[in-house]
């Protein structure tokens, strides 16, 4: 059936300025790391993208290696774009990344100019795009000079293959050096993508301070700790969940009694607030307005609806913040 975007899609989403750039991102963004590769149902992937865009999620986050197999999430997204979303290309912010292993040999990994330039060309081809809106270096490379990696990002913008550039997983000191190089080159870094959730707080306070000082926005990945910070695992491990899928990123042995006890207490607090735990977890990441957007994953459209529903209740009293700190201790 021919897709028609929902005409009310911009009514309930909030768009937030990314650092001191001109770019605005939705408070909730959708990542295609899981559930968009060739091992999942294409029709479900398509439904997820439609559902997200219909609810005002304009930002889709990919990387060269998302799948499995690597590259297939970009290919499937390219198919969905060309079949359904082409008329709305100018309403979309599409991101890709390179930095992890993508192809064999010395030029398919890390942060050389050779790798980044070739990888973005491949990503554009897989998605059928002329440019991506954001291109990230996916992780710091301890061996390649930062000047070379940042020079490659600058080049790709000048070639028109990316509009903005970002960094992911860079610790504060390395990020600061990279921002300064990019600033000198005339291609400012607009965004940093770190892992950040109630269970993963390494960005506090140094990285978030650094981003604020440099006017760089941020998008928090895995804000639900891969599903742990939801009601998904309160009564065992459902068969259709990430923890049951064999994913190395959320294994059953990570669901310890101690963790699940914290999840139960957080869930009780979320219920007192009249929302789901997943919604409270996302609202908590967005508190204080230092994070531009939360970057969720989803296997079901109801999960996207939950995330967007969070926006109706995202303020915390100081008692609630203190209560959360006690649970997390
Ligand atoms: P989340 O922490 O949001 O976890 C998503 C998973 O949580 C879903 O797949 C689903 O699990 C479960 N879930 C989501 N909403 C609900 C809900 N309302 N109720 C119950 N369960 C729910 O994020 P991800 O770990 O998936 O990462 C999100 C994105 O971040 C990625 O797609 C990618 O774009 C980016 N990322 C970036 C990285 C980087 O290095 N830069 C690394 C990792 C991710 P289930 O499948 O079990 O239903």
Q: For position 246, what pLDDT does the model report?
A: 87
> Which of 64, 68, 101, 296, when mutated, tests ligand 1's pocket best, judged by the most ligand atoms within 8 Å of its CB?
296
Q: For position 84, what pLDDT does the model report?
A: 96
Cα of 137 from ligand 1 centre, angstroms: 20
Supply the mean pLDDT for the chain. Answer: 97
Q: Which residue has the higher pLDDT, 303 or 288?
A: 303
Any atom of ligand 1 within 6 Å of the Cβ of 76: no
Average pLDDT for 82-100: 97
Q: Which domains does the chain have, with CATH numbers?
A: 15-328 (3.20.20.100)
Cα of 183 from ligand 1 centre, angstroms: 32
Average pLDDT for 104-133: 98
> What does the pLDDT look like over 196-237, one tens digit per residue?
999 999 999 899 999 999 999 999 999 999 999 999 999 999
> Which of 28, 31, 39, 263, when mutated, tests ligand 1's pocket best, judged by the most ligand atoms within 8 Å of its CB?
31
Any atom of ligand 1 within 6 Å of the Cβ of 295: yes
> Which of 298, 306, 311, when mutated, tests ligand 1's pocket best, judged by the most ligand atoms within 8 Å of its CB?
298
Cα of 123 from ligand 1 centre, angstroms: 22
pLDDT band (50, 70, 90) for residue 149: very high
Nearest CA to ligand 1 atom 29: 31
> What does the pLDDT look like over 161-194, one tens digit per residue?
999 999 999 999 999 999 999 999 999 999 999 9
Q: For position 205, what pLDDT does the model report?
A: 87
Q: For position 251, what pLDDT does the model report?
A: 93
Q: For position 308, what pLDDT does the model report?
A: 98
Q: For position 107, what pLDDT does the model report?
A: 98
Nearest CA to ligand 1 atom 23: 222
> What does the pLDDT look like over 28-67, one tens digit per residue?
999 999 999 999 999 999 999 999 999 999 999 999 999 9
Nearest CA to ligand 1 atom 47: 241
Average pLDDT for 93-99: 98
Nearest CA to ligand 1 atom 17: 303
Nearest CA to ligand 1 atom 22: 227
pLDDT at 1 over 80: no
pLDDT band (50, 70, 90) for residue 136: very high
Cα of 297 from ligand 1 centre, angstroms: 3
Q: What's the pTM? A: 0.98
Q: For position 206, what pLDDT does the model report?
A: 95
Any atom of ligand 1 within 6 Å of the Cβ of 280: no
* pLDDT > 70 in the chain, percent: 100
> What does the pLDDT look like over 295-326, one tens digit per residue?
999 999 999 999 999 999 999 999 999 999 99
Q: For position 247, what pLDDT does the model report?
A: 86
Residues in the chain: 329
pLDDT band (50, 70, 90) for residue 16: very high
pLDDT at 157 over 80: yes
Any atom of ligand 1 within 6 Å of the Cβ of 46: no
Which residues are paired to 162 by β-bridges? 132
CA distance 295 to 311: 14
Any atom of ligand 1 within 6 Å of the Cβ of 37: no
């Amino acid at each position: 059936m021919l897709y028609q975007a929902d005409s009310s899609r911009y009514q309930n989403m909030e768009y937030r300025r990314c650092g001191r750039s001109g770019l605005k991102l939705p408070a909730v963004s959708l990542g295609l790391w899981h559930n968009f590769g060739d091992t999942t149902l294409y029709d479900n992937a398509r439904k997820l993208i439609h559902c997200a865009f219909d609810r005002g999620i304009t930002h889709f986050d990919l990387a060269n290696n998302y799948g499995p197999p690597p590259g297939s999430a970009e290919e499937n997204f390219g198919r969905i774009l060309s079949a359904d979303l082409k008329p709305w290309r100018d309403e979309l912010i599409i991101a890709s990344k390179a930095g992890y292993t993508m192809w064999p040999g010395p030029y398919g990994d890390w942060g050389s100019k050779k790798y980044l330039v070739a990888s973005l060309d491949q990503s554009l081809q897989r998605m059928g795009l002329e440019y991506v809106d954001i291109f990230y270096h996916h992780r710091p490379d301890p061996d390649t000079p930062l000047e070379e990696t940042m020079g490659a990002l600058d080049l790709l913008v000048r070639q028109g293959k990316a509009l903005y550039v970002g960094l992911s997983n860079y610790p504060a000191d390395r990020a600061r050096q990279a921002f300064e190089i990019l600033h000198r080159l005339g291609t400012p870094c607009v965004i940093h993508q770190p892992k950040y959730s109630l269970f993963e707080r390494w960005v506090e306070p140094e990285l978030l301070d650094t981003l604020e000082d440099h006017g760089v926005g941020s998008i928090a990945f895995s804000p639900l700790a891969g599903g742990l910070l939801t009601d998904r695992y309160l009564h065992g491990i459902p068969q259709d969940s990430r923890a049951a899928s064999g994913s190395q990123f959320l294994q059953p042995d990570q669901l310890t009694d101690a963790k699940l006890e914290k999840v139960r207490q957080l869930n009780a607090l979320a219920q007192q607030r009249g929302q789901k735990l997943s919604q409270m977890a996302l609202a908590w990441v967005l508190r204080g307005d230092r994070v531009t957007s939360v970057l969720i994953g989803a296997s079901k459209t109801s999960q996207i609806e939950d995330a967007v529903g969070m926006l109706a209740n995202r303020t915390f009293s100081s008692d609630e913040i203190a209560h959360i700190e006690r649970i997390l201790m």
